[in-house]
Structure 1
Amino acid sequence: MARLGDPRIGKHLLREEGEVVVDEVMHHWYAFLRPGAEGVLAALLMVTSWFVSVEVAWILLVVAIALLLHAAWGWLAVLRDRFVITNMRVFRVHGVLSQHLATMPLSRILDISVRKPLHGRLLGFGHFCFESAAQEQGLRDIRYVGRPDERDLAIQRVVQRAGLRGPRIPN
């Protein structure tokens, strides 16, 4: 069951070129709230079906099963969505049945915006928005990133070590 939630990011690394993972980011627990709430609602509908007439119970059970399947799909989608920072690039792997990979070399990152809504500041998550020279890319918004300030500093550190920004001038 653990393999079901693992997107196996190792197969996307350029090991021959010396690429190593700096940070692998899973979603913050807050992203699991919606599928979890759907699962709880499905369980409540199933329990409720025991106390109503048979004519109504089967409808509740069908709705509960559909809701439970939707919750399981949503849970798995959040679990398999990974954002990876390497010494050469950043990439995102996501998808349940089919897998989508979006990659951006460190040299193309022009700006990283970190948005932290009020509840995100209280609970310790934020959202990344990557700006690059290209207008459209598959790696623009990364939502529900835990410890976003630390992750932003990690990306900035990797970019600086790669020599993609100008040399640091002491004051």
Structure 2
Amino acid sequence: MVYPDDLLVDDEQVVVHRHPHWKMLVVPVVVLLLVVGVASFLAALVSAQTWAPWAWLGLAVAGLALVGRFTAYPVVRWRTTHFVVTDRRVLVREGVLTRHGMDIPLKRISGVQFRQGLLERMLGTGTLVVESESDDSLEFDDVPGVRHVHAVLYDELGR
């Protein structure tokens, strides 16, 4: 997916655009499966009761609330989080209802590193560490293809 052109300055080109790694979605999917399974079991359990329609309504409301909070919201948050490297800067945009953004011009970056644990290496993700001239180092967690992003960013710094 291409980063929206209206958020870039004239003649700026996107080099890398990433969302956080899909591992962030494992817990929301597990929650979805658990809520559906438990709600289905409880619905079947009360089906012979005279008050079953009210119980089903309660289960549906509780299930939708849990799925909305613990599945839908994290998925939307994942989808609206962007890590972008252009030929001029590094951008991070995140948030659902309120947006937060950070831009670092490439000319202010003094160093780039990445860290990967064993599980992160197996999943192809990691932490990208960007050192700026004026600030402490900034860490971006769960960057998919972190070694490739590191190499591309390092290449852009050399230009």
What TM-score, normalized to structure 1? 0.77
Conservation of the 8 A alpha-carbon contact between 1:7 and 1:82: no
What is the Cα deviation at residue 48 of structure 1? 1.8
* Secondary structure at 1:144 match in 2: strand
Instruction: Give the Cα–Cα distance (whole angstroms) in 2 for the partners of residues 136 and 100 of structure 1.
Output: 19
Percent identical among aligned pairs is 24
* Secondary structure at 1:159 match in 2: helix
Q: Which amino acid aligns with 2:131?
A: E
Q: Which amino acid aligns with 1:29?
A: W
| Alignment RMSD (CA, Å) | 2.4
Partner of 2:37: 44
What is the Cα deviation at residue 120 of structure 1? 0.8
Instruction: Give the Cα–Cα distance (whole angstroms) in 1 for the partners of residues 109 and 135 of structure 2.
Output: 12
Partner of 1:13: 8
Instruction: Give the Cα–Cα distance (whole angstroms) in 1 for the partners of residues 134 and 58 of structure 2.
Output: 50
- Kindly report which structure 2 residues correspond to 1:83-162, keeping only aligned pairs within 5 A, or say none: 83-135=83-135, 140-161=138-159
Aligned length: 152
* Secondary structure at 2:12 match in 1: coil
* Secondary structure at 1:96 match in 2: coil
What is the Cα deviation at residue 104 of structure 1? 0.4
1:4-44 deviations in whole A, cap 9, x for unaligned? xx8963222002xx211111112222122122122222211
Return closer, same or farther for 1:72/1:36 CA change in 2, 3 Å cut-off: same
What TM-score, normalized to structure 2? 0.82
* Secondary structure at 2:141 match in 1: strand
Q: Unaligned stretches of 5+ in structure 1?
A: 1-5, 162-171
* Secondary structure at 1:90 match in 2: strand
Moved more, 125-134 or 81-90: 125-134
Partner of 1:169: none
1:93-141 deviations in whole A, cap 9, x for unaligned? 111122222100012212223121211111111111222233469xx23
Conservation of the 8 A alpha-carbon contact between 1:49 and 1:58: no
Q: Unaligned stretches of 5+ in structure 2?
A: 47-51
* Secondary structure at 1:104 match in 2: strand
